[in-house]
Amino acid sequence: MKLQQYHDSYFIKCFFIVKDSKNHILAQKEDITSGKFTLSVENNDIFEICFTSKVLNNEYHQGAVQEVFVDIKTGVEAKNYEGVAEAFKLKPLEMDLKRLEDYSEAIVLEFKDMKMRADEMRNTNESTNKRVFYFSLFSMICLITLATWQVFYLRRYFKAKKLIE
């Protein structure tokens, strides 16, 4: 996140908060002007990132302008390979190979996820196809039954009125 202020930052306070779909607070910072913030989670979810600016002295700084630049990285691209290289004492070529290995694993996992979603979509399509078939069969049986009943009813009606024999 990069935060840029055009007025005196002494009178402007900026806050940010990160919540998940269950409304749990995952990260929260107050009175920030700039910085890099990281968040690691185990499972996929929908996250809400909220930035709030408050002007302390409203008389003189009513039109204060702030710009917030948010660059969100997920998965392999969020990993800090310089830290990994220092921790395991890897050479630059080994670090590049580790990065490529992680990217290839991410691609394989993405393909597995895509295959799983394709299977779910196929199953949903087949289930919907069966339901539509049975609904149309039921509709046809209802229409044939009503048409047959209508023919017998009209025949009886016209015989009662002595229009046909």
Q: DSSP letters along 86-104, please?
A: HHHT--HHHHHHHHHHHHH
Q: DSSP letters along 31-84, please?
A: S-SS-------SS----EEEEEEEES-TTT-TT--EEEE-----GGGGS-HHHH
**107-139, pLDDT tens digit by residue?**
999 999 999 999 999 999 999 999 999 999 999
**37-57, pLDDT tens digit by residue?**
778 787 788 889 898 887 766
Q: Which residues contact 94 (CB under 8 A, 6 or more apart)?
A: 85
**2-16: average pLDDT:** 60
Q: What confidence score (pLDDT) does residue 60 get? A: 60
Instruction: Evaluate whether residue 158 is within a structural domain.
Output: no
Instruction: Evaluate whether residue 55 is within a structural domain.
Output: yes
Q: Any idea what DSSP says for residue 20?
A: -
Measure Cα distances from 10 to 5, 42, 131, 144 in Å.
Answer: 10, 38, 65, 81
Instruction: Evaluate whether residue 87 is within a structural domain.
Output: no
CA 19 – CA 51 distance, rounded (Å): 12
**77-99: average pLDDT:** 83
Give residue 61's pLDDT band: very low, low, confident or very high (50, 70, 90).
low
CA-wise closest residue to 124 among 135, 113, 112, 132? 132
Q: What confidence score (pLDDT) does residue 138 get? A: 98
Instruction: Evaluate whether residue 48 is within a structural domain.
Output: yes
Instruction: Evaluate whether residue 95 is within a structural domain.
Output: no
Residue type, 54: K
**13-18: average pLDDT:** 86
- pTM here? 0.57
Average pLDDT over the chain, rounded to an integer: 85
**95-99: average pLDDT:** 87
Instruction: Evaluate whether residue 84 is within a structural domain.
Output: no
Please say if the pLDDT value at position 19 is more than 50. yes
Q: What is the CA radius of gyration of the chain?
A: 33
Two tokens at 85?
């290289």
Percent of the chain predicted with pLDDT > 90: 42
CA-wise closest residue to 76 among 95, 104, 111? 104
Domain that holds residue 19: 2-72
Instruction: Evaluate whether residue 148 is within a structural domain.
Output: no
**46-69: average pLDDT:** 74
Instruction: Evaluate whether residue 113 is within a structural domain.
Output: no
Number of domains in the chain: 1
| Residue-wise burial string across 129-158, b where 16 or more C-beta atoms lie within 10 A, e elsewhere | eeeeeeeeeeeeeeeeeeeeeeeeeeeeee
Q: What confidence score (pLDDT) does residue 11 get? A: 62
